[in-house]
Chain A
Amino acid sequence: MTAVVTTEGLGKRYRTKWALSDCTLSIPAGHVVGLVGPNGAGKTTLLNLATGLLAPSAGTIEVLGGRPAAGPAQLAKVGYLAQDAPVYAGLSVADHLKLGVRLNPGWDADLARDRVTRLDLDPRQKAGSLSGGQRAQLALTMATSKRPELLILDEPVAALDPLARRDFLSDLMETVAEQEVSVVLSSHLISDLERVCDYLIVLIASRVRVAGPVDELLSTHYLLAGPRRDPARLPAGQEVISASHTDVQSTLLVRTADRILDPAWTVSEISLEDLVLAYLSQDKPKRDPHRRQPHLRQRPHLEVQK
């Protein structure tokens, strides 16, 4: 399968701080990719590098086979929805569509008009007086009506109320089904990602911690509960992601491609949310005095910066 985004050792530095470091990814096409991580982990930086709004400080990035924002042809292939869905407050909805027509050779005017009608947006209304959900929908229209191959969305629903959030994601899924476009969307709301994403990237402290199809991640992570055990004693091939112990019991989150054969463990599946949370908390030192350190822990070595 072709890759929509390929990075090799990608990094971005602001003065002395690395907002993103040593990022090596190959995001396959045809997926809705969720980019998850705490604030300041580097999600927006990675997405800005992919759209070409930022230039790398280290490493390389290739989007749809070309350098980001290398020219009008490259720009036409990538649709971008920035955080807080910026639009021109003084221009009307219809003006925005006209902007799209004039600035994009590949603009599908019928598609855009149908969307606006379907979304119940008044073409004459100024974009500044739209609600948050409507603004997000307008911005999505601007990004998708030029029929891109890749859609990049930076925290598209973070500021929306639950109904607007649902409407937006529903609309996005319909667009994905109709246009067969790959999507990369970042969010810190894992519950939204669970429904719509089939590929996950977890970014913590400016580094990629986990990347893979959701199905595969869910089927290779297990929650093991059983009598207290030293995590270092587990068979090779079972990577302990997180562990918590009482004096008699151990609960481990384990990643492995093999089956769990040890009958002492009660094996359960894990939800995507718990999986991501386990990786996110991996970096935070716990205050439990009984806790035995699992294997290698990586502390964030720089202050995070968005």
Chain B
Amino acid sequence: MIWLTWRQFRAQAWVALAVLAVAAVALAVTGPNLASMFDASGIVGCAARGNCGALIDAFGYQVGHNAPDNVLDHLGPWVLFAVPSLIGMFWGAPLVTRELETGSFRMVWNQSVTPARWLAVKLALIGLASMATAGLLSLAFFWWSSPVERVSMARMTPGTFGATGIVPVGYAAFAFTLGVAAGILIRRTLPAMAVTLAVTAGAQAFMALWLRARLIAPVRAVIPLSSAVLSQFDVSPRTGRFIVYTGGNEPQGIPGAWILSGPETITTPAHVASQACIQSPALVPRPCLADLARLHLTQTVTYQPLSRYWPLQWYETAIFLALALALAGFSLWRVARRG
């Protein structure tokens, strides 16, 4: 049965290996260059010298204008998000539907192997191959992008989280077993592929947009307002209060965190605003800053800190692996019930 699984999976395995090889080559060719660019940028140790902002901007500019790096940097996450769906569509859905559509299940399920054992071996071997493929891609991209990641610290954000670490492995297992189950229920290849794609993408989106934020209770913190995040402030015509804006600047002190809500804009009682602030509301001159600092203004932010990256990765992966096991069990039950 192991031989048969391999023999029938052979062509698809070659495709996967080819994709991995192309990815490996692309990343290996550009990776060392990227790493050396990072080393040369002087960002390491910039905190002590206090010029991180400028260096980071410069490095970002370099990466953005180096075509291969830029392409890979943007393409990588897309590829990693897509791979589970592709695995589900091309490895999972046709697994049973091809046999049903060609009638070959009537031949192979009459050999001295029960349908349940036939499916169990295929689920196990191709499932492992799916997880390995996704895992290797994730690992390769992680290695390649570590210079960029050190700078951007974006891995907690929804657009990146699902493409890094071990969750792609969980997604791949889920999508594969989902494809198999869909094939068993729907019995035709194309509809099963469509359903697999829709549900896998939907599950990834649902996780990113809603569930992940609630897996661990978010931190709700009150953060002192620092001058670095101020962009402008205004006077409210109605109440006469000052409104301080932080623009798109992230609150200080929680680097790499995933901001879920806030920060709220802060208002001040009008009477404590200083003359310095009133005079030039569009800019924020030093005297005004000094006055605001004395007010000890704070922001209220809800977020998931960077330190929760790995716990969230494990939880999410565990959820998808559990779903994959449930789908596999369901598929085995359905197939065994026929006879």
A binds B: yes
Interface set of A (CB-CB < 8 Å, partner B): 51-55, 68-69, 71-73, 75-76, 78-80, 82-84, 86-91, 95, 98-100, 102-106, 139, 142-143, 146
Task: Kindly list chain B residues whose C-beta atoms are within 8 Å of the C-beta of A146.
Answer: 111-112
B110 contacts A54, C-beta separation under 8 Å = no
**Most chain A Cβ neighbours within 10 Å, of B1, B113, B339:** B339
Distance of B135 from chain A, by nearest CB (Å): 28
Chain B residues engaging chain A, CB cutoff 8 angstroms: 1, 3-4, 7-8, 11, 102-114, 337-339
Given A53-B338, A86-B107, A103-B108: A71 in contact with B1 (beta carbons within 8 A):
no
Assess whether A68 is in contact with B339, with CB atoms less than 8 Å apart: yes
Query: Which of A55, A82, A106 touches B106 (beta carbons < 8 Å)?
Result: A82
Of B106, B110, B337, which one neighbours A75 at CB under 8 angstroms? B110
Known: A75-B110, A82-B103. A88 touches B339 (CB 8 A): no
Provide 16 A-B residue pairs closer than 8 Å at the C-beta atoms, listed in order of the A residue. A53-B106, A53-B109, A73-B112, A75-B114, A80-B107, A82-B107, A86-B104, A86-B105, A88-B104, A89-B102, A99-B7, A102-B1, A102-B4, A103-B1, A143-B110, A146-B112
Cβ-defined contact, A84 with B3, below 8 A: no
Q: Is the CB of B112 within 8 A of A104?
A: yes
Q: Please determine whether A69 and B3 come into contact, CB atoms closer than 8 angstroms.
A: no
CB distance from B110 to the nearest CB of A (A): 4
Query: Is B112 a contact partner of A75 (Cβ separation < 8 A)?
Result: yes
* Contact of A100 with B7 at beta-carbon distance under 8 Å, contacts A53-B338, A68-B339, A82-B103 already known: no
Q: Are B106 and A72 in contact (CB under 8 A)?
A: no
Contacts of A82 on B, CB cut-off 8 Å? Answer: 103, 106-107
Give the one of A54, A76, A86 with max B CB within 10 A.
Answer: A86
Please report whether the interface of chain B is mostly helix, strand, loop or mixed according to DSSP.
helix
| A142 contact from B8, B107, B109, Cβ within 8 A | B107
The chain A residue sitting closest to B4, CB to CB, is A99
Contact B3 A52 (CB under 8 A): no
Minimum CB distance partner of A106 in chain B: B112
B132 to chain A, nearest CB (A): 24
Known: A75-B113, A99-B7. 8 other contacts (CB 8 A): A53-B106, A55-B339, A71-B114, A75-B111, A86-B103, A91-B7, A91-B8, A99-B111
Q: Which residues of B contact A98 (CB under 8 A)?
A: 3, 7
What residue of chain B has the Cβ atom nearest to residue A102's Cβ? B3
State the Cβ distance, B282 to closest chain A Cβ, in Å: 71
> How distant is the Cα of A53 from the Cα of B337 in the complex, in angstroms?
10
Q: How far is the CB of B50 from chain A (nearest CB, A)?
A: 65
Q: Is the CB of A86 within 8 A of B106?
A: yes
Of all chain A residues, the one with the shortest Cβ separation from B113 is A103
Q: Tell me, rounded to whole Å, the shortest Cβ–Cβ distance linking B268 to chain A.
A: 73
Q: Given B104, B110, B338, which contacts A79 in the complex, CB threshold below 8 Å?
A: B110
Residues in A with CB closer than 8 Å to B337 are 55
Within 8 Å by CB of B112, from A68, A76, A91, A139, lies A76
A residues less than 8 Å from B112 (CB atoms): 72-73, 75-76, 103-106, 146
Chain A residues with CB under 8 Å of B111's CB are 75, 99-100, 103-104, 142, 146
CB nearest to B102 among chain A residues: A86
Per the bound structure, the CA–CA distance linking A304 and B339 in Å amounts to: 23
Q: Using Cβ atoms and an 8 Å threshold, which residues of chain B touch A72?
A: 112-114
Measured CB to CB, the closest approach of chain A to B209, in angstroms, equals 41
Contacts of A71 in B (CB 8 A): 114
By a CB distance below 8 angstroms, the chain B residues around A73 are 112
Q: Please give, as numbers and ranges, the residues of chain B lying within 8 Å of A99 by CB-CB distance.
A: 3-4, 7, 108, 111
Q: Kindly list chain B residues whose C-beta atoms are within 8 Å of the C-beta of A103.
A: 1, 4, 108, 111-113
User: How many Å from the CB of B96 to the closest CB on chain A?
Assistant: 14
Distance (whole angstroms) from the CB of A68 to the closest CB of chain B: 7
Contact A80 B4 (CB under 8 A): no
B110 touches A51 (CB 8 A): yes
Q: How far is the CB of B192 from chain A (nearest CB, A)?
A: 20
Is B114 a contact partner of A69 (Cβ separation < 8 A)?
A: yes
A254 to B8, CA, bound (A): 56
- Which chain A residue has the least Cβ–Cβ distance from B10? A90
Would you call B339 and A53 a contact (CB within 8 A)?
yes
A-B pairs, top 8 by smallest CB distance, nearest first, are A82-B106, A86-B103, A103-B111, A69-B339, A80-B110, A76-B112, A52-B339, A104-B112
Report B-chain residues with C-beta under 8 Å of the C-beta of A87.
104, 107
Residue of A nearest to B110 (CB): A80
Closest residue of B by beta carbon distance from A86: B103
Question: When chains A and B are docked, how far (Å) is the Cα of A80 from the Cα of B105?
Answer: 11
Cα distance A77–B55 in the bound complex, in angstroms:
76
Shortest CB-to-CB span from B95 to chain A, Å, is 14
B104 contacts across to A, CB distance below 8 A: 86-88
Give complex CA distance A82, B117 in Å.
21
Find chain A residues with CB under 8 A from B107 CB. Answer: 80, 82, 86-88, 139, 142
- A174 CA / B276 CA spacing, docked (Å): 109
CB B27 to nearest CB in A, in angstroms, measures 33
Query: A72–B338 Cα gap in the complex (Å)?
Result: 15
In the assembled complex, which residues on chain B have CB atoms less than 8 Å from the CB atom of A80?
Answer: 106-107, 110
Chain B residues whose CB sits within 8 angstroms of the CB of A88 once the complex forms: 8, 102, 104, 107-108
Output the residue of B1, B11, B108, B337 with the most chain A CB within 10 A: B108
Closest residue of chain B to A74 (Cβ to Cβ) is B112
Chain A residues with CB under 8 Å of B4's CB are 99, 102-103
